[in-house]
Structure 1
Amino acid sequence: MRGMILLLALLSAFPPLSIDMILPALPTLAETWNQPVATINLILVCFVVTYAFFLLVYGPVSDRYGRRRPLMVGLSVFVVSSLLGAMMDNVSSVIFFRALQGAGAAAGPSLALAMSKDLFTGKDRERVLAYLGIIVPLAPMLAPTFGSWITAWLSWHWIFYAQAILGLIALIGVSRCPETLVSRSSNSLAQVAGAYIRLAKNPTYVALTLLMATIMLPFFGFIAGSSHIYITGFGLSEQNFGYFFAFNALCIMLGSIAFLRLVRGYESKTLITVGFTGILVGGLGLLFGEGLGQWGFALAMAVIAFSGGLSRPPSNNLILEQVKHEAGAASSLLLFTYFILGAVAMWFVSLEWESKQAIIGLLGVSCGGLCLTAWLTMRRMGMLRHE
């Protein structure tokens, strides 16, 4: 079980590994290529957009053909595009191969979530998702720091080489992993893809998916704006930015650890409520804490990060409990919604705002308040199904 959890964690870590490792290099790339921040941030946005759309491909394919083969194809695409991206030296080519990276990376998290549905049930799956919530934040903790070291000592090209190595390690792990889907769909691929229509007719699944995706918008806004805020705004070095970013990821990990402890005495739904409330409070801290410097910004984001780590494992498990079959499609649609809304948030924060901190704070307040209200309403109406 331990080995499977580690493999699921590595597969789930591809988004932060791919996104966060290059963050410290963005200001340098903007200066080197003489491009505005909004153009350079397309390196992030295009990755997220293609990643999100290809999530919709891997889910139904895996319900029809199993999890292993689609995973190996996706990871192979990721490795090749990383190697090719390392050889480029202009913004257009890098954006193109980052988009191709996203197409390959999408296989990891969606099928890792589907595999958790294949292998575990109920509270066991909830605990496994919490363990992933502890392990996976190591990626955003370490990735910016590694990225800053690579940028300072070598060049940004080596960030792509490092990602290719990580993809190759995951590919070897999947090749040694048995197929987890016991009962594959006998329908044609077109019929299997119709799972998205069937999921759209499940109102509780749709409502929870939209809710849990919306609450993630401040996190994506932070990813897009953090390097500008810390490096350009506060004047920190790329290395110190990496440490502050790692602090934020540590808070996500601590939130998941807290969930494992608190769930012994409190309902999962209560902890989701606490998490949503914390995101609202953190957003208020960002809005009214301007002028407090990097630590004021970091501490307010720490509240949001901890609250997200607390609420994410039970909320993902609750969404999976709303479907009995077609876990691949359900997982893919869930993550697609996360990341397509996240791409919008990243684009929004990348615009030439006077204060990106205030914009991220506004996302925290509006999304936290809206989602908390909707969540409490769903609880009162008894809309939630459990396995």
Structure 2
Amino acid sequence: MASTFSRYNFYLVIGTFTLLSVLGQVSTSIYTPFFHDLAHNYDSHISLIEKSVAIFLIAFSASQLLSGILCDYISKRFFLLCGILVFMGGTLLVALADSDNSFLFGRIVQGLGGGVGVSVSRGLSRQIFDEKQLSISLSITNMAFAIAPAIAPLLGTIIGEQLGVSAIFYFVLAIGGVALLLLLITSETISLHSPAISPNVSEETFRLIKKSSAPIILVGVASGLLYGIVFCFVTIAPSMIMDQHGLSKTLFSIYSLLATLSFVAGSILNIRLSKWSTLLKFRLSSVAILSLSVLISALTFLLKFNGLVIMLAYSYATFFFIGIAMPCSVTIMLSFSAKSAGFLAALVGFFHLSGAAAGAYLVAYIGSTLLMLPAYTFVLITTGLCLLSVTACLFLKQAKT
């Protein structure tokens, strides 16, 4: 049935799913250059604005998990429609916020709506596309995942400096409107190709939880902690680059783009190493990141090397290995079951975003509590996350044998 897609409808549906999936990333990355401006606008501390990233990710990850589980039992199109409407409502609240509390509340609503698009669109892709079409769809979405958060800060800088900070959130609202329009346009096509809901999903899911919960949790925790490092950088980079070293928003955006390119390079190498065991690549990447973290910790805390060049070099090398590890973690997780792939995909997103929220929150909390330089805070948190991730990998080895 999936093969009856016309070329136009096929790419229109992919474009819709891709946009729904990356809305959360765009809404977070696009305002990072203006943390200081927002703190000033709300007469608040920058750490509170930094915590808005963690708060969003908590709501986003919970939404992604719940919607991924529930969409196997009810209409996925309905879920997507509700999700985008909630996201747009949250974005409007953020744009109109007149205090830090109302800003944070809007971010929570954004997260609850944005998480739906990731899990549900992935589940629909699995159902309505054949193997070749699914490969194309996931490839395009993965590229968008990498590119969107890299371009968003630069785009946000241009909009914010020309039209003001609030214009950034109205721009995100407009993107949500485009996603809603595309969803309405493709709704009939999606409905035509969507199969009936399987009556055996719950049976398979409960069997999976009973037999494989331990290794699933270990994979999720190990990969989620590595993903937390990404959001350590996202959260602390504005302070580390612009505040500590006094560089411009434009340079900050360029350095963020280079971090994403490092991630993409790692993902490309992961494809090239197709003959290697997925678990082996995941484990070796984790150990490589831990080795880098131990080295940078020694240089930073013992030798007092905390310059921007060395911090960026460490960040880019770490992002490279995370680019290898992330696709591996998804492959490992999905290999546990074919029938409950939607449930497993939701778990992947939940663990990744929970780790991201933990990384973002720890950076903001420790930075404001211990009053450390951003570089020291970044190194301390990333080293701790790496150590925990590698520990989980060791237990994962025992669980798989």
Give the TM bin, normalised by the shorter chain.
0.7 to 0.9
Aligned to 1:339: 353
Which of 204, 217, 223 aligns to 2:228? It is 217
Please give the alpha-carbon distance, in whole angstroms, between the structure 2 residues aligned to 1:313 and 1:118. Answer: 21
| Structure 2 segments unaligned to the other structure (5+ residues) | 1-9
Q: 1:159 to 1:174 in 2, by over 3 A?
A: same
Aligned residue pairs: how many?
379
1:130-184 alpha-carbon deviations (Å, 9 max, x no partner):
6543332111110111111122111111111111122222223333151565241
Aligned to 2:396: 378
| Structure 1 segments unaligned to the other structure (5+ residues) | none
Letter aligned with residue 236 of structure 1: L
Which stretch of the first structure deviates more once superposed, 88-97 or 225-234?
A: 88-97
Shift of 1:376: 5.0
Which of 281, 286, 291 aligns to 1:281? It is 291
Residues 145, 243 of structure 1: 8 Å contact kept: yes
Aligned to 2:241: 230
- Is 1:239–2:250 an aligned residue pair? yes
- Is 1:368–2:381 an aligned residue pair? no
Q: 1:123 to 1:234 in 2, by over 3 A?
A: farther
Residues 251, 309 of structure 1: 8 Å contact kept: yes
Letter aligned with residue 323 of structure 2: G
Q: 1:46 to 1:372 in 2, by over 3 A?
A: closer
Which of 316, 322, 329 aligns to 1:315? It is 329
Letter aligned with residue 312 of structure 2: A
Q: Aligned to 1:323, what secondary structure does the other structure show?
A: coil
Aligned to 1:144: 153
Letter aligned with residue 293 of structure 2: G
Aligned to 2:107: 98
Aligned to 1:184: 197
Residues 363, 378 of structure 2: 8 Å contact kept: yes
- Is 1:17–2:35 an aligned residue pair? no
Shift of 1:318: 1.5
- Percent of pairs identical after alignment? 21
Shift of 1:8: 4.1
Q: 1:43 to 1:365 in 2, by over 3 A?
A: closer
Letter aligned with residue 210 of structure 1: V
Q: Aligned to 1:366, what secondary structure does the other structure show?
A: helix
Which of 265, 269, 283 aligns to 2:279? It is 269
Q: Equivalent residues in 2 for 1:28-107 (5 A)? A: 28-107=37-116
Alpha carbon RMSD of aligned pairs, Å?
3.0
1:166-221 alpha-carbon deviations (Å, 9 max, x no partner):
2222223333151565241448xxx9699589636522222212222122221122
Please give the alpha-carbon distance, in whole angstroms, between the structure 2 residues aligned to 1:117 and 1:369. Answer: 35
Shift of 1:305: 0.8
Which stretch of the first structure deviates more once superposed, 278-287 or 141-150?
A: 278-287
Please give the alpha-carbon distance, in whole angstroms, between the structure 2 residues aligned to 1:332 and 1:380. Answer: 24
Letter aligned with residue 103 of structure 1: L
Residues 286, 325 of structure 2: 8 Å contact kept: yes
Residues 289, 296 of structure 1: 8 Å contact kept: no
1:27-55 alpha-carbon deviations (Å, 9 max, x no partner):
11122333112222232222122212222
Q: 1:262 to 1:158 in 2, by over 3 A?
A: same
Residues 30, 153 of structure 2: 8 Å contact kept: yes
Residues 221, 389 of structure 2: 8 Å contact kept: no
Residues 59, 111 of structure 1: 8 Å contact kept: yes
Q: 1:250 to 1:183 in 2, by over 3 A?
A: same
Which stretch of the first structure deviates more once superposed, 270-279 or 175-184?
A: 175-184
Which stretch of the first structure deviates more once superposed, 191-200 or 74-83?
A: 191-200
Shift of 1:227: 1.1
Residues 126, 314 of structure 1: 8 Å contact kept: no
Letter aligned with residue 178 of structure 1: I
TM-score, normalization: structure 2? Answer: 0.83
**Greater Rg over alpha carbons, structure:** 2
Please give the alpha-carbon distance, in whole angstroms, between the structure 1 residues aligned to 2:162 and 2:203. Answer: 47
Q: Aligned to 1:325, what secondary structure does the other structure show?
A: coil
Q: 1:123 to 1:322 in 2, by over 3 A?
A: farther
Residues 129, 317 of structure 1: 8 Å contact kept: no
Q: 1:312 to 1:116 in 2, by over 3 A?
A: farther
Which stretch of the first structure deviates more once superposed, 150-159 or 51-60?
A: 51-60
Please give the alpha-carbon distance, in whole angstroms, between the structure 2 residues aligned to 1:76 and 1:162. Answer: 16
Shift of 1:306: 1.0
Please give the alpha-carbon distance, in whole angstroms, between the structure 1 residues aligned to 2:118 and 2:298. Answer: 35
Please give the alpha-carbon distance, in whole angstroms, between the structure 2 residues aligned to 1:47 and 1:93. Answer: 13
Aligned to 1:330: 344
Which of 253, 265, 282 aligns to 1:254? It is 265
- Is 1:293–2:327 an aligned residue pair? no
Shift of 1:4: 5.2
